[in-house]
Amino acid sequence: MLHLLQKFLIRHIVPRGMVLAMDLFVTGISFILAYLLRFNLEPAQIDLHRATSHFLIALPVYISVFLFYGSFSGIIRHTTIQDTVKLVMAMSTGAMSLLLLSLTARTSPRTEFLVIPYSVILIHFFATTVLLVGSRLLIKETYQYCFIPTRPLKSVMLFGAGELGLITLKVLEGDRISGYKVVGFIDDKRSLNGKRLNDIPIYSTRQAFQRVIKAERVQEVIISINQPNISPTRKKELLEMCLENNVQLKQIPAVKEWMNGQLNSKQIRNVMIADLLSRETIHLETEKIKEGLKDSIILITGAAGSIGSEIVRQLMTFDIRHAILYDQAETPLYNLQNELKTKFPKISFELIIGDVRDPFRLYKVFEKYQPDIVFNAAAYKHVPLMEAHPYEAIRVNIGGALLLADLSVQFKVKKFVMLSTDKAVNPTNVMGASKRICEIYVQALSQKEGVTTQFITTRFGNVLGSNGSVVPLFQKQIEDGGPVTVTHPDITRFFMTIPEACQLVLEAGFMGRGGEIYVFDMGEPVKIYDLAKKMISLSGFIPEEDIAIKFTGLRPGEKLYEELLANKETTLPTHHPKIMIAEVRKYQYDEVNQSIRQLLASVQLEDEEKLVSRMKALVPEFISQNSRFTKFDEQQPAAPRLNGSKKRTKKRISIS
């Protein structure tokens, strides 16, 4: 019987009309009670006729204020502070109206019947307010404790004993469904250590992790500090300590992301792997970027991709005239359009479905829009796939870039920014070699006499969360219960976040005069095996126990270590500490143009092995690894070497 009652109460909500009727009933009973209290609970002293008149005057007034404020419209079992405020406002307005009416009625004998004793009005106000608010809170608490199933208590600690820490504590204590039990605060301020906040002890980080977490069996630590106030370095240190103690690290969202300005326990989220790998905030020369973008028409190819779309988002924050979003991926481009319409309704932009290999389509785009700036983010980036299909890498990565670069010169585009990769440094795969050939071409073209377009190349490594990153793959494998696949126990990669990479692209794009290759400081290399273990731990599992890690062997074209782009011996500094200029060989345009055109012309005439052999001739430092094309590294090249390159030896020659 009780179970059926629970189900009925959970599924059904009291109608608003019934709530209004109940409020009016309480209001009426309270009015009678107020009269009795006014006359010392002696009914014989009450003028029944006058009391009835006063009752019939007061009731319509309170009906009006209840309807005006809508104090009956809330769900009683989920009464909020706003609901309570509405009730108090309604009762206050009703009482003030009756007081004003009584005061006015005293001025004339004809309206004496409207005079309600002030004491009755005030007693009625306090009694009704207490009864209505109290009944709602009683119903809410009864419902939560009797009809909502609770979870076993989970011991947690809050990192941050400030104002946000106190707010988080109250939110967790008020939410029985979440099952949180706060056993302590952690704070770096020494002045707070040993004190108590809301009767809960405050510990230093050392005290918390050395004795409290194990003693109290703490399962989670929640960062209750506004995100800008905790540095990425400190967050990493905290995360490492949590991982060592098998404790989950979570955080509250930024204050601006709170729903309706209030924190909810459901908004508390896991610390993401991006938080672990992120670095200190990048400071951009926004004035220089703003000046370069002002009133410009901008073409972004590959605009629907993870990098291209983020460049679009960042461009939208500047005063541009028009953006042309060019991509062949229909659905992602459509989704991006819907996002931009919502976030940037005043910015002019247009979608164009098209292929960067289509000369007619691109010519018409340049002819119609006359872009001032071109960002080329269109490329195939998956190393194993391009190793299996070099034909496509040549046609899209090289052919598309050359077509865009030539049209930019023809239509006198002011600036052309090409996105390259760290895999273009001493490439070991087709994808990296294809991007290096693009770099060579745009550099040589920028030095051609009569060319006014500034060609800028930007190089960076793996972008965390991009379509080609291991992070989405690991997340999917963890969701599926494993195993998480890692190619080699010692493989390392450099990482940066998508916004970070795109910010540096914008900065570098307006830094040089043309012909430069800018490389980004990628920070410290990350061991992929360690990354996999941390992602499993962040998801609440134990690596190798709950979810296995499986080694699959290096893929075709893959190498263990990426080249360190920020090598002081091969780069020159700029005014920005995270951006360097690569020192590379210079090439003659005529020779470069002829050799690359021959490669493109051979795409439909020669097999893949001959095409890759031509690429190795163009880029002598291209030495394949774990690939079917390794055999060509010991053979003579199939095409003449470019004069800008040194003779190939077994020892790798770095070009940047």
Residues recognised as catalytic: 423
Tokens of 418: 């090409």
Q: Which of 184, 238, 237, 192 is nearest to 213 (CA)?
A: 184
How many Cβ atoms from other residues are within 10 Å of residue 223's Cβ? 26
How many Cβ atoms from other residues are within 10 Å of residue 290's Cβ? 15
Residue type, 355: D
Q: What Å distances lie between residue 176 and 11, 148, 250, 260, CA to CA?
A: 19, 8, 18, 21
* Torsion 329-334-335-341 (CA) sign: positive
Separate counts of helices (H) and strands (E) for the chain: 23, 22
How many Cβ atoms from other residues are within 10 Å of residue 118's Cβ? 13
DSSP secondary structure code for residue 119 in this structure: H
- How far is 460 from 566, CA to CA, in rounded Å? 10
**Cβ proximity of 324 and 299 under 8 Å:** yes
Q: What Å distances lie between residue 165 and 223, 262, 268, 326, CA to CA?
A: 8, 14, 13, 46
Calculate ∠ Cα 376-378-382, nearest 5°. 135
- How far is 603 from 317, CA to CA, in rounded Å? 41
DSSP secondary structure code for residue 318 in this structure: S
Tokens of 120: 């009755």
- How far is 178 from 161, CA to CA, in rounded Å? 21
**Cβ proximity of 614 and 599 under 8 Å:** yes
- How far is 562 from 10, CA to CA, in rounded Å? 58
Calculate ∠ Cα 447-426-584, nearest 5°. 25
**DSSP 3-state assignment of 454?**
strand
